[in-house]
Structure formats: C-alpha cells, structure tokens
C-alpha cells in the first residue's frame, strides 16, 4: 500500500477531528506558481453537518500570530533593519503615552495603572510574550 500524500494526511486529520480545518496558500515571488487548498469544516461542534471551510472564511486566530511575528522581528534584527533596544513608538505611535499595568494583585477587581516612564522596546514586548506564553 502506498503511503499517504501530504494532502491525504491533512484530509484524514480533519475527518478524524485531530484538527478542525486547514487553509494553505503558497506562491512564488514571480507570480508563476500559486497553490491554494482548503480542508475541513468551519464548525468545531459537528464538522460533518456544517459548512466546509472556504479560503475567504473569517477565522479566530487568538494568539497564533505572536510566534511568527517574533520570528519576523528577529529576522529584521539580524538584517539590521530593527534594533531590540529601540523605542517601538516610532513603529507603533498609538502606544506613546499609554499607561501601563502596575499591579493586579489577588482580590483586586481593577488593575492598577501607572504612567509609563521607560520606553517600550521590541525586547520588552518579545520577553513579555515569552513569559505570558509560558504561563498559559
């Protein structure tokens, strides 16, 4: 018996409810090649009685973009395009002047906010992501 192709393995994983759905898109830089394939269902409850996933479906990504964003930032750092110690308000001006979380202790119903007196750096954002990810 021949082994499964990649697409067959993805189809089986969706059918067996190992994963709900997959959307894959790839193309080359010149625009000569484009691959699009959609697998699975838009519903986690009953994938066989619901709509099939489509390439234009709206999906909830939650924190899925944090890791690839960190990888992209580190690639830019390696190329000299970004510096981990630079203030990010040049890239994200909406962060300038925002208060920061000072504490949120046990029994507190509201967070305590404080004026931000230090620059927010790429390094601090990445380290915060890594620490919050390890608490999940």
pLDDT tier at 97 (50, 70, 90 boundaries)? confident
Tell me the pLDDT tens digit for each residue of 62-78: 778 888 888 999 999 99
Q: 50 or 70, which is more confident?
A: 70
Instruction: State phi, psi for 90 to the nearest 5 degrees.
Output: -70, -35
DSSP 87: B
The answer to which of 45-49, 83-87, 95-99, 129-133 has the lowest mean pLDDT is 129-133
Per-residue pLDDT at 67: 86
Structure tokens at 69: 């964003």
The model's pTM is 0.52
pLDDT of residue 127 exceeding 80: yes
Tell me the pLDDT tens digit for each residue of 16-39: 888 888 999 999 989 899 999 999
Per-residue pLDDT at 16: 87
């Amino acid at each position: 018996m021949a082994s499964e192709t990649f697409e067959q393995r993805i189809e089986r994983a969706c059918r067996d409810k190992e994963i709900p759905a997959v959307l894959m898109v790839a193309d080359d830089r010149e625009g000569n090649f484009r691959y699009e394939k959609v697998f699975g269902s838009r519903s986690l409850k009953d994938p066989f009685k619901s709509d099939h996933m489509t390439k234009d479906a709206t999906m909830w990504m939650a924190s899925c973009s944090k890791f690839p964003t960190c990888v992209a930032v580190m690639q830019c750092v390696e190329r000299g395009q970004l510096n981990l110690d630079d203030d990010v308000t040049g890239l994200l001006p909406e962060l300038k002047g925002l208060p920061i979380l000072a504490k949120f202790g046990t029994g507190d119903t509201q967070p305590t906010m404080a004026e931000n007196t230090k620059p927010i750096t790429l390094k601090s954002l990445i380290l915060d992501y890594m620490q919050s990810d390890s608490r999940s």
